[in-house]
Chains A and B, each alone.
Chain A
């Protein structure tokens, strides 16, 4: 089944404790991105990747890191999480990027930073 998967789905952590949210897609998509969703703010892009080893900042990259060592995986790393990073996170992929492709979203990761 073609899909985007994320793990974990739920995470409660404490300030400063490094964490990684994994994202994987099995559709051979070139483009992957991370969004955070907050009430009243919609979906805001954190980072995106046009292809392997190519990543760039979205609209809200502060406090996050990403890597794209393999085409299928695009982990989101929070080196020192803070309470303002409490949010619902979505990974997404699309065949080619460029904005005119359908985005396929993962199931979401709800993160709480205490």
Chain B
């Protein structure tokens, strides 16, 4: 089945610096790659997603890149702010699967003031 590995498990950055979280997936037929943000005590919420026919997508300070050949995708957060502190999950969907998404293990991002 689909496997998604996420690194690092924890990440601390200074406010204003950039943060990068990386994920690899096992199934080359995966076609959809969302990122969810989970603030402390809250539910996961979608922040950005990318499909397999696109290499990069940006939304203000957040961007996601996809390398289909290497089977990895990354979340980039620029000009980090304290409110970016949260757990971030990557996920991948295998085309043709009804199982929705396979999630990575999460990255605890801490933005230090």
List residues of A whose CB falls within 8 A of some B CB: 31, 33, 35, 40-45, 48, 50, 56, 58-59, 90, 94, 97-100, 102-103, 105-108
Q: CB-defined interface of B3-35 with A at 8 Å, one 1/0 digit per residue?
A: 000100100000000000000000000011010
Residues of A within 8 A of B46 (CB): 102-103
Nearest CB in chain A to that of B9: its residue = A40
Residues of B within 8 A of A45 (CB): 99-102
Residues of B within 8 A of A103 (CB): 34, 36, 44, 46, 100-101
Q: CA–CA, A106 to B38, complex, Å?
A: 12
Kindly state whether residue B98 has any CB partner on chain A within 8 Å.
yes
Give chain B nearest CB distance to A109 CB in angstroms: 11
A106 contact from B43, B89, B97, B106, Cβ within 8 A:
B43
List residues of B whose CB falls within 8 A of some A CB: 1, 6, 9, 31-32, 34, 36, 42-46, 49, 51, 89, 93-95, 97-106
Give chain B nearest CB distance to A7 CB in angstroms: 14
Give chain A nearest CB distance to B98 CB in angstroms: 6
Given A40-B9, A102-B49, 17 other A-B contacts at CB below 8 A? A42-B6, A42-B103, A42-B104, A43-B89, A45-B101, A48-B98, A58-B99, A97-B98, A97-B100, A98-B98, A99-B31, A99-B99, A100-B51, A103-B36, A103-B100, A103-B101, A105-B43
Q: Of residues A40, A58, A105, which shows the largest number of chain B Cβ atoms within 10 Å of its Cβ? A: A105
Residues of B within 8 A of A107 (CB): 42-43
**Contacts A/B (CB < 8 Å), 20 sampled:** A31-B100, A41-B105, A42-B6, A44-B103, A45-B99, A45-B102, A48-B100, A50-B98, A58-B99, A90-B43, A98-B98, A98-B100, A99-B93, A99-B95, A99-B97, A100-B32, A102-B46, A103-B46, A103-B101, A107-B42
